[in-house]
Structure 1
Amino acid sequence: MSGALVIGGGPAGLMAADALLSAGHAVMLADSKPSLGRKLLMAGKSGLNLTKAEPLSEFLTRYGAAAPALRPMLSAFPPEEVMHWAEGLGQSLFTGSTGRVFPHGMKASPLLRAWLARLDGMGLERHVRWRWTGWDEKGTGAVSMETPDGALRLTPDVTVLALGGASWARLGSDGQWAGIFRDAGLPVTPFAPANAGLCVDWSAHMKAQFGAPLKGVAFHAGDLVSRGEAVISARGLEGGGLYPLSPALREGAALTVDLCPDVELATLTKRLSRPRGKQSLSNHLRKVVTLSPASRALLMECARPLPEDPATLAALLKALPVPHSGLRPIDEAISVAGGVPFAALDAGLMLKARPGVFVAGEMLDWEAPTGGYLLTGCLATGLWAGRAAAERLSRG
């Protein structure tokens, strides 16, 4: 075949196809699943968080160690451009109180339908149930695909790989491509869970709190701090307030919870020092410090018996240790760390060892918390790789 082959029908792959088609090139897109955008649709079930409306300098900090490598891509497709792009597909948007941006309809399906209609109108040739099985062993650079009609060998001028990470395998991101890369001598940083729940072995006393949210608290792990909500579950803790701590928790950092993040330690100590008369310590605590039932239950679970000394108790409320046994498994994680290192790629996200082959999306070795950062990162790297592939085609 001549033209471009995009393998992977998620946000990064679709954006790469969009860039190539917009540049006037023929594009064939292949995906292993029966339909495209399955992980995008799943993410949109609870409300499609497209991006986060905040300055790019702050936005970039959410990508940790990968921020310098991602800066060009995110600068070329920052949050405001993501919003313009979605509006161009007929989606009216709103920005929530935390800066998160959503379609008014909340779901991903209207955006995906409009996007696929646009791509089809531009001439996209798409195939489903086509699984990439590697490159031709003879060293010709041909791409091998397994299709419902049998094995197929393609020789595109450029290829964009957007095969996802290794979380939510049932939706297509099974990470099997990593074995193909390693067999071909290409580097892959091992996968690890990101944006994952935390395993906590609760006592039977916590059963009444399962499903209850922890609100108005701050989570600390290593050098990372996150204000947000987490839910107490039968298996531990999960939720957007906890997910930004994944890098530290994955490395075995201890978790502490500030149950009173808006109250200074000295003020808290002063309140707890008030005379309590014949009241029990737990009743005194309930009267002088405002804690939700879930926060009180967590305190008793992790710190009983409570210290009598006001200063010691105040310090405990400001940094409650929560014993844990690490993150949930990769396939339960929303995303992963690990993938193709940026050092193996040129400035256009092309593999240095495989000219004409570009990589985008969650295949790359980066991670970010939920809140619009994941989707924006996938869209931005897909657009960047697609434009670089289009430029290579234009040069012949």
Structure 2
Amino acid sequence: MTILIDIIAGARPNFMKIAPIIRALDRRLAEGGPLRYRLVHTGQHYDARMSGDFFTQLGIPDPHVNLEVGSGTQAEQTAAIMTRYEKLLIGAPSRLCLVVGDVTSTMACAIAAQKLRIPVAHVEAGIRSGDWSMPEEINRMVTDAISNFFFTTSKVANDNLRCAGIGDERIFFVGNTMIDTLLANLARLQKPAFWDTCGLETGGYFVVTLHRPANVDEGGAFTRLLSAIGAATRGLPVVFPVHPRTARTLEALGAAPAGFHLVEPQPYLEFNYLVKHAKAVITDSGGITEETTVLGVPCLTLRDTTERPETVSIGTNELIGTDPVKLKPALDRLFAGDWKKGAIPELWDGQTGPRIVQHLERVLHPA
């Protein structure tokens, strides 16, 4: 007898996190393991650049179900995901809902499942930035508050969960599935089509990603930030894959500083090729700081807090803050060769997916 679990994916950050779990489940099922899965795509990210390319490149199978929620405000997306996932569970319940990360789909499906008394397992549980202005922080807190099982990336996350009253018997320190995906694809990374036309050379350009509302929603602040990046990068090319949210502000501004190469959001293999060969990455993302840490690439995070403190305390990342004035001193240190080397956090070894499946089997199918 097999046991059905749902794996939820809805937005670009999710896809890198589910791929190793799916591979491990497929392998165990072929060996006679007890778990099978139903892949549920909520449709929170629904175009090829933000969704389809990742499924193809990472070998993720076509979803068994696509809820097709499409665009909308966070409340509209949350309501649509909950309504459609609830309908799916009422008609065909699973034994467990496995959610990853901290996007709207993560929280919405966890709520819908728990209200139907279906246990929830949260991959990447326990991370906290302490910044309630970030929608992702609210999603994390709500999801952890109603989850049954917690798969964590760090001992800091374990401690956060313990402080919230979660018992050790429900916390599983397994590592980082994002890193499983990165390590599995290092040999497959692809040079993007614009590499030569932009005059890029290994170690001779910067990668920038910006999408946090505090950085990109207000035109004046965004302009000052871009100008500071342009001035501090000393004429080296700046490759800027533009998030749809950021594109709206850029369109209103009319132009980026000289030296910026504005490109579409990149597929996984091309984007990480850019990261791997960059002089440094300037970002307000969280997940990218994990990848730069493992790749040994300097990373400057334009935020005041991070939910991934191990990338700062152990890895190559530094929190610069949102004040553009702080960029130049940091980049001056980089150009002077005075950037920390960093190390790789514990259990970020490419084996997180199998560890998660082992724990799921013990929980759902005890001997």
TM range (shorter): 0.3 to 0.5
Whichever of the two has the greater Rg, that structure is: 1
When you count strand as a share of all residues, which structure comes out higher? 1
* Larger RCO (CA under 8 A, 6+ residues apart): 1
Give the TM-score normalised by the residue count of structure 2: 0.33
When you count helix as a share of all residues, which structure comes out higher? 2
